[in-house]
Amino acid sequence: MMLAIVATRAGLGLEAPEVLVEVHLANGLPGMTLVGLPETAVKESRERVRSALTNAGFDFPNTRRIVLNLAPADLPKVGGRFDLPIALGILMASGQLPGDALEGIESVGELALDGRLRPISGVLPLALAARRAGRKLIVPRECADEAALAGDLQVLPADHLLEVVAHLLGQTPIAAHQLEAPPLSPVIEGDLAEVRGQHQARRALEIAAAGGHNLLFSGPPGTGKTMLASRLPGILPPLTEEEALEVAAVRSVCGLPLSEQWGRRPFRAPHHTASAVALVGGGSWPRPGEISLAHQGVLFLDELPEFSRHVLEVMREPMESGQIHIARANHERRFPARFQLVAAMNPCPCGHLGDPRQACQCTAAQIQRYQSRLSGPLLDRIDLQVEVPALPPEQLTSRETGESSAEVRERVMAARERQYAREALNAYLGSRELEAACALSTADRAWLAGVLERLRLSARAYHRVLRVALTLADLTGKPQPERGELMEAIGYRQLDRQRQG
């Protein structure tokens, strides 16, 4: 057989399109030509495959001209994942493997020079695609657990090229890898009961968890803003299996371990020096950023005004759409970014504006410049803006504890069930569905219109108020929000009130 075709898959973000490795042995000057838009690491596979086949004891067709085509030709090929399918294709084309040996099988893996299989990144999206195609999958053994997360897929793990060939020849079959996935339950590293006082902030945290709302804490240093934010994942419901696979797929593409994070809500806290690309993703070969790594979890931005304004503004679109679209001249990628933003900031540059423990040293102009680093459109997208004041010493030293995360999580899950019965979490309801769910009375609508006029709130902020009010109603079991829920929701627009004050 002079022509062989081996199925494998490329890695394009969270997609894994099929790639056919076509190997043709022809007469002519000996050599190996690789075509099909390969980048440098793929081009180097020629030397890795040659050495691996030779050192594993196979006959390399040195006297023939070898043409390798990675089809489709216009699809970019990146990384060392094509080494194993190229080696198997050469063995089939040279007659060392039967022509039908890889029927219904896909393979992927990087080869060492001695024929050992090395792990690659992005195996989970590839395994999910192979499962949808109804094929088996040969992977390096170190990638077997990750591939098996795809579920109904026959994963064949191997340590060496010789094991793969022995399996394909029927000499020593490879046993399908079995993985018992860990339970889908959150691991709570900090409990809400550890937070002293701060009843309004705790209330806002519960509302944010119940409705999927974005949240901003503002207060002097040392008042517990970071501690509160870190407790949010502990009061969120556990991930469903589908959500856990989405989170794991993003981590897989980034080459991060999956076992220790399986089933846990992500909590990402990038430093304020992070660039726009680090935050939302990008690069010449686009990769997910922090907002995608926080998918189905929490993105915590501490010292929010210290972030570059340009960096913060690039988050505005994904905060609305739940995904990030990165376009380049010759390709584009879409990554999921359905995250909850929790941010913390000081009220002024010195941090002590309104702090009874220490007088503020900032001028009015300095405070204005500091607070204006956050644009109005960005603040419009933050539903809950809450002051976290300094606690008196007697409250700090008190042995009294509040509700635990488990108790709050029960109410959050009950409120979310009411929202799922409608359509989606309140934070993601469409305008029409939101208006239908908030059947306000004529008097309440007139009152709300007056408040919106006084605060000069935008249409987006108006809808954000309705969403929070609807979540408050869900937490108390009411069919729709009333005046009390509207007043409390307006009370959480702290920065809007300050700007109009």
Q: Tokens at residue 394, please?
A: 């007697």
Q: Which residue has the tokens 């933003």?
A: 341
Q: What whole-number distance in Å separates Cα of residue 127 and Cα of residue 83?
A: 17
Q: Identify any residues that bridge with 337 across adjacent strands, giving them in sequence order.
A: none
**Given this model, what pLDDT does residue 16 score?**
94
Kindly state the average pLDDT of the residues 15-20. Answer: 95
**Strands 136-140 and 155-158, how do they pair?**
parallel
Mean per-residue pLDDT of the chain: 90
Give residue-wise pLDDT tens across range 87-97. Answer: 999 999 999 99
Contacts of 441 (CB under 8 A, 6+ apart): 482
pLDDT at 396 over 80: no
Name residue 486's amino acid: L
**Given this model, what pLDDT does residue 451 score?**
87
Better-scored residue on pLDDT, 357 or 501: 357
Sign of CA dihedral 61, 66, 72, 78: positive
Where do the domains of the chain lie, and which CATH numbers do they carry?
3-168 (3.30.230.10), 192-421 (3.40.50.300)
Torsion of CA 485, 490, 493, 497, to 10 degrees: -160
440: left (phi over 0), alpha (psi -120 to 50) or beta: beta
**Given this model, what pLDDT does residue 358 score?**
87
**Given this model, what pLDDT does residue 48 score?**
96
Q: Are 383 and 492 in contact (CB under 8 A)?
A: yes
Give residue-wise pLDDT tens across range 305-331. Answer: 999 999 999 999 999 899 999 887 777
Contacts of 383 (CB under 8 A, 6+ apart): 208, 211, 213, 214, 215, 427, 464, 467, 468, 492
**Given this model, what pLDDT does residue 1 score?**
58
Burial degree of 48 (CB within 10 A; 0-12, 13-18, 19+):
buried
pTM of structure: 0.89
Report the share of the chain in percent with pLDDT over 90: 65
In 3D space, the residue among 10, 18, 9, 14 whose CA is nearest the CA of residue 254 turns out to be 14
Better-scored residue on pLDDT, 83 or 241: 83
Give residue-wise pLDDT tens across range 161-220. Answer: 999 999 999 999 999 998 876 655 555 668 888 888 888 999 999 999 999 999 999 999
Q: Which residue has the tokens 């086949």?
A: 53
Contacts of 80 (CB under 8 A, 6+ apart): 41, 42, 44, 45, 48, 110, 111, 118, 120
> E strand or H helix at 298, and its extent?
strand 298-301
Q: What whole-number distance in Å separates Cα of residue 110 and Cα of residue 141?
A: 12
Contacts of 284 (CB under 8 A, 6+ apart): 328
Give residue-wise pLDDT tens across range 255-279. Answer: 888 877 788 899 999 999 999 999 9
**Given this model, what pLDDT does residue 392 score?**
79
Kindly state the average pLDDT of the residues 133-160. Answer: 95
Phi then psi for residue 431, to 5 deg, are: -60, -40
pLDDT at 386 over 90: yes
Give residue-wise pLDDT tens across range 32-76. Answer: 999 998 989 899 999 999 999 999 999 999 889 999 999 999 898
Kindly state the average pLDDT of the residues 119-139. Answer: 96
**Strands 117-118 and 110-111, how do they pair?**
antiparallel
Q: What whole-number distance in Å separates Cα of residue 105 and Cα of residue 92?
A: 14
